[in-house]
Amino acid sequence: MLTSDELRAQYLATGSGEAPRDHERLDLIREVLAGEATWTEPPTHVVGGVLAAVVAGGQADTDRRSPDRPARWPIVAAAVGSAAALLALLVSTLGVLDNGRETLLAMTGTELQVGASGVAAVRPTGSGWWIRLELTGLAPAPEGSYYEGWVWSDDGEGVSIGTFHLRSGDDPVILWSGVDMEDYLHPTYLGRRTVAHNSSFGCPFSCSFCAVVAMTNRRWLAESPARMERVLGRLVRDYCVDAVQMHDMDFFINEARVAEFSGRITPLGVRWWGLGRIDTLMGYSNATWTAMVRSGLKMVFSGAESASDAVLATMNKGGKASARLALDLARRMKSFGVVPEYSFVLGSPPDPAGDMASTFEFIREIKRVNPATEIVLYTYTPVPMDGVLPTR
């Protein structure tokens, strides 16, 4: 025996069975979710306009609303996964509060998710609309599926404000909308319309000089190749992006992920850049390198750091890092036509002057092996480590 919520969800997914009281809205949601246009990025002027209307409408409503008057702008969260498993959760706006900095919208669940509630805070910024959702009573979306936030007008116009999954605890959900993408597309050596993207966060290594270690405690969380393909596909399709800089702390940590990503994005015809460790990249198979090149990889940034394996050890570079591998990778990348971008730290202890001289000599050797190699230089700067600073 199905509960009324399950019957409603079934009706929403299939359109068959006994029509619930609110079937008109469910029909509309199903129609929108089934439409191809739903899954494309709306034009930025629509996003900006509708969200501006959210705030303008909400503020106007603050003055006029009686306690039991239905809100004008519901926010809809729909869990989307495989097409057969659509489950929509509707959260209607209850009240609006303008605290001068953010507009707060109190939300409560409809019959579809009676126990759901939350607060949405929206605020215009110089880079679009910032939207924070604090939701309770919504279960995490199953692995491989997501909730999608929507701003929805009474006359049936809906605008997506992004996706979230609630699988990482009860942290607030931060979404952005109304961003003018033209501000973020620039000509670079890679292409005419280059965009930046982060497909992962963190790094499992613990180099002693690296801020990432303290930020992420050697953890690493990555998007799937399928999701990366969807993101890049949308950027190419809707914004005519022709190049991508992968600003991951280390894009190349997982060879299988990179190989699948490369295969998936090859038809998009983008040129791309990423940052990765020398020893990891030397461990990649020729097949993966070929796939990366075919997919548009043009340059890779790597921290070569030093000509001395002993200095690399003091930096706690970890893995199989060695100066010899830096030379080998420069040679290998030349054979694949990918430009290495190597960074070095000059003047490491215990012999700063000697370290600088040997590193410059090493750089000359690298340039002989692969003249296209780009060199980035840093200087060693001691900083206090964790603990108490001595005082006099």
Quick check: helix, strand or coil at residue 349? coil
Nearer to ligand SF4, 218 or 237 (CB): 218
Q: Is 303 in the site for ligand SF4 (CB under 6 A)?
A: yes
Nearer to ligand SF4, 210 or 282 (CB): 210
Residue from 19, 212, 346, 372 in contact with ligand SF4 (CB under 6 A):
212
Nearest CA among 263, 247, 243 for reference residue 255: 263
Give least dist CB 300 to ligand SF4, A: 13
Nearer to ligand SF4, 137 or 319 (CB): 319
Residue from 26, 75, 203, 356 in contact with ligand SF4 (CB under 6 A):
203
Return d(Cα 129, Cα 176) in angstroms, integer.
5
Nearer to ligand SF4, 193 or 317 (CB): 317
Burial of 132 (0-12, 13-18, 19+ CB in 10 A): middle
Per-residue binding letters, 238-257, with ligand SF4 (x by CB under 6 A):
-----------xx-------
Q: Which residues contact 367 (CB under 8 A, 6 or more apart)?
A: 373, 375
DSSP 66: -
Q: Is 181 in the site for ligand SF4 (CB under 6 A)?
A: no
Q: Which residues contact 73 (CB under 8 A, 6 or more apart)?
A: 53, 54, 57, 58, 93, 105, 151, 152, 153, 154
Give least dist CB 257 to ligand SF4, A: 16
Return d(Cα 267, Cα 159) in angstroms, integer.
29
Q: Which two tokens stand for residue 25?
A: 């809205």
Per-residue binding letters, 276-295, with ligand SF4 (x by CB under 6 A):
-x------------------
Give least dist CB 250 to ligand SF4, A: 5
Q: Is 298 in the site for ligand SF4 (CB under 6 A)?
A: no
Applying CB under 6 A, the site for ligand SF4 has a residue count of 11
Footprint of ligand SF4 on 331-350 (CB under 6 A): none
Q: Which residues contact 366 (CB under 8 A, 6 or more apart)?
A: 304, 326, 327, 330, 340, 342, 373, 375
| Count of residues making up the chain | 392
Nearer to ligand SF4, 9 or 213 (CB): 213
Give least dist CB 162 to ligand SF4, A: 27
Q: Which two tokens stand for residue 327?
A: 């030379």
Residues in contact with ligand SF4 by CB under 6 A are 203, 205-207, 210, 212-213, 249-250, 277, 303
